[in-house]
Amino acid sequence: MSENINNREYRKEVIKQVIKELHDGKSVDEVKQKFEEAFAGVSATEISEAEQVLITEGLPVSEVQRLCDVHSAVFKGSIEEIHREKDPAKIPGHPANVIMLENREIEKIIENKIMTYLEKLSDKNAIESLSEGFQELLKIDIHYSKKENLLFPYMEKYGITAPPKVMWGVDDEIRDDLKIIASDLSYGVIKDSGEIGHMLRWVPEWKPEVEAKEEIKEEMSEPGSIILPTGVLKVNELVNMLNTLPLDITFVGKDDTVKYFSQSSERIFPRTKTIIGRNVSNCHPPASVHIVEGIVEDLKAGKKDHEDFWIKMGDKYVYIRYFAVRDEKGEYMGVLEVTQNIKPIQGISGEKRLVSE
């Protein structure tokens, strides 16, 4: 036991030394032998544990990122892994399987659509093909986003926090490098997508043995919690979260009565609790009630999914939006009214990338 502890301490010190040497300017080739001698035959788990200890002790994640090239040079993907009887990476359609297949797809793009043309840059057609290859490689952002938003949360839930931070940092470095190259090749950068999506053209369907909602219910729910499809919130958390939004929300049910309104500090139109259960037609002045009734009827009938208005009120520029709320079958459930003063937003220009002092 003491020998194992000493070995782990020794390997931790080796990691520190390798990082320092890389920081001081040594190349990967110059340090990889030291790393290989200390970690030959060691599982990826122990390496990640050692890195996590160092980060916990205060070593910046950016410094640990320097080790990634050393990992790759020494092990080339052959670090001993812990395999279970049912390896998720081998189950068709499992997220781990999809990510593994995307890794193979990335390798093909690099090998067949980039490396093939790097030695033929004097050929105009080769440059065009290389540009197309880098444009396709920019889809790696989909792959990274999936890893960061699907796998990392589960790793962190089980106390594996250092590797996700390190990998995310390296992912961002690669993203930045690819954008620069693509820009140099006169190609635009892929715009953000509303959905993560897949790199692959086709992904087999996979259904987990335990639904995520049930897992959330078992692991996270507490008395008084509201279990939602994408998380669990205490009533107090939900109320204050909705009230913190910089806009007003009012929900009218399918029976045309007011069911809920938020209490934002930036509320534009007054609301009192006495309107709960009140017919929406009775909540508006006679001069405009026909407009409201028309909107509700159009949304209810499916003629429209939303209707927008914008008006000036003193020093405010008020944006009022009405949305039809429908269930997964498309059945009408009610109307959501969202009101916001957009004048401060209209004044935004340029970019802001630094935290305010």
Rounded to the nearest 10 degrees, the angle between the axes of helix 2-23 and helix 67-75 is: 110
Q: Does residue 125 sit in the same domain as residue 63?
A: no
Query: Does a structural domain hold residue 215?
Result: no
Q: What is the pLDDT of residue 4?
A: 44
Query: Does a structural domain hold residue 193?
Result: no
Q: What is the pLDDT of residue 118?
A: 75
End-of-domain residue from the set 152, 167, 184: 184
Residue 302's domain is classified under what CATH number?
3.30.450.20
Q: Does residue 63 sit in the same domain as residue 104?
A: no
Query: Does a structural domain hold residue 47?
Result: yes
| Structure confidence by residue, pLDDT tens digits, 127-180 | 778 888 888 888 888 888 888 887 888 888 888 888 888 888 888 888 888 888
Of 186, 104, 96, 187, the C-alpha closest to 138 is 187
Query: Does a structural domain hold residue 139?
Result: yes
What residue numbers bound the domain in which 332 lies? Answer: 245-346
End-of-domain residue from the set 168, 184, 200: 184
Which contacts of 185-193 are long-range, i.e. CB under 8 A and separated by 24 or more positions? 185/127, 185/130, 185/131, 185/134, 186/131, 187/131, 187/134, 187/135, 189/138, 190/135, 190/138, 190/139, 190/141, 193/142
Q: What is the pLDDT of residue 148?
A: 84
Query: Does a structural domain hold residue 222?
Result: no
Question: How confident is the chain (357 residues) per 10-residue block, as mean pLDDT?
Answer: 59 79 82 79 71 82 78 55 57 83 90 80 73 86 85 81 85 86 59 50 65 53 78 91 94 94 88 86 79 93 95 93 95 96 93 84
In the numeric block, the tokens 């609790």 are attached to 273
Query: Does a structural domain hold residue 300?
Result: yes
Q: What is the pLDDT of residue 44?
A: 67
Q: Does residue 46 sit in the same domain as residue 130?
A: no
Q: Does residue 95 sit in the same domain as residue 65?
A: no
Query: Does a structural domain hold residue 211?
Result: no
| Structure confidence by residue, pLDDT tens digits, 26-38 | 888 888 888 878 7
Number of domains making up the chain: 3
Query: Does a structural domain hold residue 194?
Result: no
Q: Does residue 65 sit in the same domain as residue 108?
A: no
Q: Does residue 65 sit in the same domain as residue 42?
A: yes
CA 322/CA 324 separation, integer angstroms:
7
End-of-domain residue from the set 157, 184, 211: 184
